[in-house]
Amino acid sequence: MINTTTDFLQGYEIKQYLGTTTAEVVYGTNALRDFMAGLRDVFGGRTASYEKVFEKGQKEALKELEDRAARKGADAVIGVQINTDSINIDNEGVLFLITATGTAVTLK
C-alpha cells in the first residue's frame, strides 16, 4: 500500500477514487508520564515520553488508514494528513487523539 501527502503519484495513473478514509487512535495518559511532563514544564526541555506516544500513535494511525483503504479495494491513499488533539474526560484525565485522513484510490 502506498500512502502520500500529495494528491497524485508520479509514474502512476489513478483509476478510481474510492472516497475519504479516516483512522483514529486514542491513547490515555498515565500518572508517571504526567508527573515527568510537569517537571519539564517547570525546568524546560522536551518531553520524550509524550513524543514517543505521538510517534507510535502516528504510525498506528497510518497503518489503520492503510488497512481501511485496503478493505475498500484501494492500492494507495493520497492527500494523507495526520492531526492530533486531546479529549478532556474530567478534571484530571486527558486522552490523546491521533487521526489520519486521506483519499483511497485504485491505480492503473
pLDDT in tens, 84-106: 998 887 776 778 899 999 999 99
Instruction: Look at residue 94 in the predicted model and tell me its pLDDT.
Output: 77
Q: Residue 26 pairs with which residues in a beta bridge? A: 97
Instruction: Look at residue 30 in the predicted model and tell me its pLDDT.
Output: 60
Please, what are the averages of pLDDT over each run of 10 residues along the chain (108 residues)? 95 97 87 52 64 89 98 98 87 84 97
Q: Count Cβ atoms below 10 Å from residue 59 Cβ, excluding itself.
A: 13
Instruction: Look at residue 86 in the predicted model and tell me its pLDDT.
Output: 84
- Domains delineated in the chain: 2-107 (3.30.110.70)
Residue 53, C-alpha cell as written in the block = 506516544
Q: 29 Cβ partners below 8 Å, 6+ apart?
A: 93, 94, 95, 96
Global confidence as pTM? 0.80
97/50 Cα distance (integer angstroms):
13
Amino acid at 87: I
Instruction: Look at residue 90 in the predicted model and tell me its pLDDT.
Output: 73
Q: Residue 16 pairs with which residues in a beta bridge? A: 106
33/45 Cα distance (integer angstroms):
15
